[in-house]
Structure 1
Amino acid sequence: MFALGVSEVMTDFNTSNNYLSALVVSIYVLGFAFGPLFWAPLSEIYGRWICYSVSNILYIIFTIACAVSTNMSMLIVFRFLAGCFGSSALAIGGGTVTDMFPVQHRGVALSLYTLGPICGPAIGPVIGGFVSAAKGWRWIFWVLSILGGAVTFLQVFYMRETSATIILRRKAKRLRKTSGNSAIISKIDADKRASGSQILLQGLVRPLKLMLLSPISFLLSIATAFIYGLLYLLLTTLPMVFEEGYGFGVGITGVTYVGLGIGNLIGLFVFSLTSDRYIRARIAEGKMTPEDRLPYILVSCPLMAAGLFLYGWTAEARTLWIGPVIGLTLFGVGNTLFMNAVIGYLIDSFTQYAASALAANTVLRSVGGALLPLAGDSMYQSLRFGWGNSVLGFLALGFTPALIALYKYGESIRLKYPLKL
């Protein structure tokens, strides 16, 4: 939502630094790199509900702080903190899906879970463009605070704990109280001999272990960082293409993001329609492995590359505006297939610690989403839209051989390098 209000911010705060204009958008995503390191393991130790509740309330506070910022430094700092505290859903959501759904039904559940993060980059700029044009950039944050407050109210009062560890621990506590038998403990706790502080330390270190010591997790994190960086580079540079290249106003430029959203929905529909069906067939054959979530990544990078080529060269040639929008649609299809396949694979591979596995992936992914957009302005100035996007498309294609190898040999690599979590 905020991407289209940046030009107003630059005017209000009397700065023309292009790096700052990109940073004030992407710094929020950098917060996603730090928040999950804490929210994911804390949710596995203390429960999902309390982490969602605390983080959502703090997110609202720091979003309001963004709305009342008086200089660029304040806005950047509060944007970063809002990202840190707003990242709990990204960090914990996969764990909640694992808590609630068996493997053969997770594809549809994942699609519903990712519907918000996937549609957000398309719907947000549409709303943000018109809000910024009508009321100014500060009202973007007021709208976010109001919507966040409504969602948080529903979450706090209607959401229930889903973590098996926490549910069993509470049940054992009730039984100890009602029976007077202090020896009653849950089976999960009976298997643990560590102290509370040791359990907390192990939990906080777990995402880093998954990120650095698991070859599978590390490779997927690197690939996801680049793909996520591409997405945010497009989000931050679309105004450059459509406002400067096509002469669109801020509000109409926001509407062009719908092309990306349509592509995301197509990818989501394909994943929902086919993933669980394929998993059930593999289970019936007795051959199901987590790698069965990965076939989609084999076509995702070529689709994104095709979208980048079409988007870049039609924008360079100033063809009818629908050309770049179709390119964004193709990119959206590939992006969604890639992200859902990766999330599904990590959840199926690290079921009990799915939240930590997704947090490990989110760390590098968010670093890519925050830093790659900073290169967008200088890249397009040097290479223009055609060759600039072509370079990105060739890099996306470069990941395809590694992803094919991961699909083919992922199981043997995963079993060869087990982690004690």
Structure 2
Amino acid sequence: MEKQDVTANEENDLDDVANSSTGNLVDWDGADDLAKPMNWPNTRKAKNIVVICYLTFLTPLGSTMFAPAIADVMGTFHSWDPLLASFVVSVWVLGYFFGPLFLGPCSELYGRLPVYLICNVLFMAFNIACAVAPNLSALIVFRFLAGTFGGCPITIGAGTFGDLIKPENRGKIIAVWSLGPLMGPILGPIAGGYVGQSIGWRWICWILAIASGVGAVASFICQEETYPAVLLERKVRRLKKETGNENLRTALNVDRKASHVFGRSIIRPLRMLFLSPIVGSLSLYQGFVYGYLYLLFTTFPLVFQNRYHFNTGTIGLTYLGMGVGSLIGLGVGGVVSDRLLTKLSARSGEKKPEYRLPPLIPSCFFLPIGLFWYGWAAQANAHWIVPILGTVCIGIGVNMVMMCVATYLIDAHPSFEASATAASTATRSLIGALVPLAGRSMYEKLGLGWGNSLLGFMALAMCPLPWVFWKYGERIRTSPRFQMKL
């Protein structure tokens, strides 16, 4: 069926060029053109989406698999610096900060597919390098590079979904995709705890290398190019060959000169981050939430080993509470987001990005409540299930914030969705890498109760943001003052 559709499109291409108002502009054959990724059959879309979601899950999984076994890692290299121990875990996330600076522009220059393929192979290679690292410095460098290239699906995944999915169906897909960066870091320590205890920390790296190898093979087999600018350029090249008309060009009129693309992709996210109140404040909010997530990931072993005397394997199970919370947030947020968008759009007669925010207004309070609950329960040495129940609330709050903000930023900046996503990804990755470094000293000085309360009060101070942008977001977003700056 797909081959017949493609053949039919090819037969109409010459007529499309001939009937163009200029004779030289090449565009899709109408809004329903099956060559346009957004109009592909669901099965064709699904095979691309599944691979991206798998890789998006795998990369964050590797970021925290080391956490329960970090004492063994440090013991292997005869180092006992607690700050360095935290950095070995969080340096992976630091790679997510640098990756978008060149992976995003490369996807605009060469298309999504080549970037996915190359990064997946390099991700596997650097996981192998981590497994055979001769010293701690080499391990840190290899983990940084693994995070940089492994962050490819996180960096350009939103752009791919923008290519494939219509806005009214985007919430559910973004919810599933967002589950990777949330469930990966939660399930990683569970697997890493038992693997590290039974066969050693190096096998954590080997398992990641095998899993990433599977992802690389699946990417070669299942993924296709989805970037419209590249697909239309291919169509132009084919029509030039068939018609001999060297003046043909794409109707998208996308500037893809290397210097311009890199300049735009690096400078525009920074401009949006510092000059757009929406992108700046919500990226900062998302960054703090991500930082809290990794702070808890790196300190769970400290809390449950010292206070509750869990061993390396069972420490991994303490992350399940946050996993359950994330699943609850996914189930509620993914369904409610799209339904609310449809309902509110039908009422007003237009789709507004602000219609993505109502689920976030009540659910953002779960994060500070969970932090207070977890911190004071652990401080009081309550039964271990009590602080873990607090992390269920944290998981709900984190998932809803990450999913709703990501979807809102994509819908609010349809022309600059890659830049908006890059700004938020870079911000949250930098904060996520640095915040855990202060975690141990903060808990030592303030204790678990007041330490987590400090985080909770900061999260509570951010809770009015969703309401502010729900009420005034459209006015800010459409203001010529901010549009000109972007």
Which blocks of at least 5 consecutive residues in structure 1 are unaligned? none
**1:67-146 alignment to 2 at 5 Å?**
67-146=131-210
Indicate the residue corresponding to 2:357 in structure 1: 294
Indicate the residue corresponding to 1:48 in structure 2: 112
Is the CA contact 1:31–1:82 (under 8 Å) kept in the aligned structure 2?
Answer: yes
Identity across matched positions, percent: 45
Question: Stretches of 4+ moved more than 4 A in 1?
Answer: none
Q: Establish whether residue 340 from structure 1 lines up as the match of residue 399 from structure 2.
A: no
Distance 1:150 1:330 in 2: 34
Distance 1:196 1:389 in 2: 46
Q: C-alpha offsets along residues 360-381 of structure 1, whole Å, 9 cap, x if unaligned?
A: 1111101110111111111111
Shift of 1:228: 0.6
Q: C-alpha offsets along residues 200-256 of structure 1, whole Å, 9 cap, x if unaligned?
A: 432343322222222211111111111111000000000011111101111111011
Indicate the residue corresponding to 1:238 in structure 2: 300
Is the CA contact 1:260–1:331 (under 8 Å) kept in the aligned structure 2?
Answer: yes
Shift of 1:196: 4.5
Q: Establish whether residue 418 from structure 1 lines up as the match of residue 483 from structure 2.
A: yes
Indicate the residue corresponding to 2:41 in structure 1: none
Q: C-alpha offsets along residues 67-91 of structure 1, whole Å, 9 cap, x if unaligned?
A: 1112111111111111111111111
Distance 1:299 1:82 in 2: 37
Shift of 1:313: 1.2
* Structure 1 counterpart of 2:418, one-letter code: A
Aligned residues: 419
Indicate the residue corresponding to 1:305 in structure 2: 368
Is the CA contact 2:372–2:453 (under 8 Å) kept in the aligned structure 1?
Answer: yes
Q: C-alpha offsets along residues 86-127 of structure 1, whole Å, 9 cap, x if unaligned?
A: 111111111111111111101111112122222112211111
Q: Establish whether residue 205 from structure 1 lines up as the match of residue 267 from structure 2.
A: yes
Q: SS where residue 188 of structure 1 aligns?
A: coil
Candidates 391, 394, 397, aligned match of 2:454: 391
Indicate the residue corresponding to 1:178 in structure 2: 242
Is the CA contact 1:41–1:206 (under 8 Å) kept in the aligned structure 2?
Answer: no
Is the CA contact 2:275–2:485 (under 8 Å) kept in the aligned structure 1?
Answer: no
Is the CA contact 2:291–2:436 (under 8 Å) kept in the aligned structure 1?
Answer: yes
Q: SS where residue 182 of structure 1 aligns?
A: coil
Distance 2:119 2:274 in 1: 26
Distance 1:419 1:146 in 2: 48
* Structure 2 counterpart of 1:175, one-letter code: L
Is the CA contact 1:55–1:85 (under 8 Å) kept in the aligned structure 2?
Answer: yes
Shift of 1:197: 3.2
Q: TM-score, normalised by structure 1?
A: 0.96
Distance 2:360 2:484 in 1: 24
Q: C-alpha offsets along residues 140-170 of structure 1, whole Å, 9 cap, x if unaligned?
A: 1111110011011101221011111111111
Is the CA contact 1:93–1:355 (under 8 Å) kept in the aligned structure 2?
Answer: no
Distance 1:62 1:213 in 2: 36
Q: SS where residue 318 of structure 1 aligns?
A: coil
Q: Establish whether residue 357 from structure 1 lines up as the match of residue 420 from structure 2.
A: yes
Q: C-alpha offsets along residues 161-187 of structure 1, whole Å, 9 cap, x if unaligned?
A: 111111111111111122222122210
Is the CA contact 1:300–1:335 (under 8 Å) kept in the aligned structure 2?
Answer: no
Distance 1:384 1:76 in 2: 29
* RMSD over aligned Cα atoms: 1.5
* Structure 1 counterpart of 2:146, one-letter code: A
Q: SS where residue 256 of structure 1 aligns?
A: helix
Distance 2:260 2:288 in 1: 35
